[in-house]
Amino acid sequence: MTENKSYKILVADDDPISRRLFQNLLAKAGFMVTAAADGHEALELFRRHFFPIVLTDWQMPRIEGPELCRAIRRESPGRYVYMIMMTSKGGKEDIISGLNAGADDYLTKPAHHAELMARIKTGIRVLQLEKSLRDAVDEIQVMSVTDPLTGIYNRGYINQRLPEEIRRSVRYRHDFTLLMCDIDHFKTVNDTYGHLSGDAVLQAFARCLSAAVRQQVDWVGRYGGEEFLVVLPETDFDGAMTLAERLRQSVESLVVQTGGHTIRITASFGVTGLSSATPPQAASAESLLQTVDQLLYQAKNQGRNRIQGHLFAG
Query: Under a CB-based contact definition with an 8 Å cutoff, are residues 282 and 273 in contact?
Result: no
From the CB of residue 306, how many other CB atoms can be counted at a distance below 10 Å? 17
37 burial (CB, 10 Å; 0-12 / 13-18 / 19+) is: middle
Residues 109 and 86: their CA atoms lie apart, in Å, by 6
| Active-site pick, 3, 139, 164, 226 | 226
From the CB of residue 287, how many other CB atoms can be counted at a distance below 10 Å? 15
Q: Mind spelling out the 3-state secondary structure of 32-45? A: EEEEECCHHHHHHH
From the CB of residue 191, how many other CB atoms can be counted at a distance below 10 Å? 11
Sequence-distant (≥ 6) Cβ neighbours of residue 224 within 8 angstroms? 155
Residue 260 CA from chain centroid, whole number: 38
Residue 224 CA from chain centroid, whole number: 24
Q: Is 226 in the active site?
A: yes
Residues classed as catalytic: 226
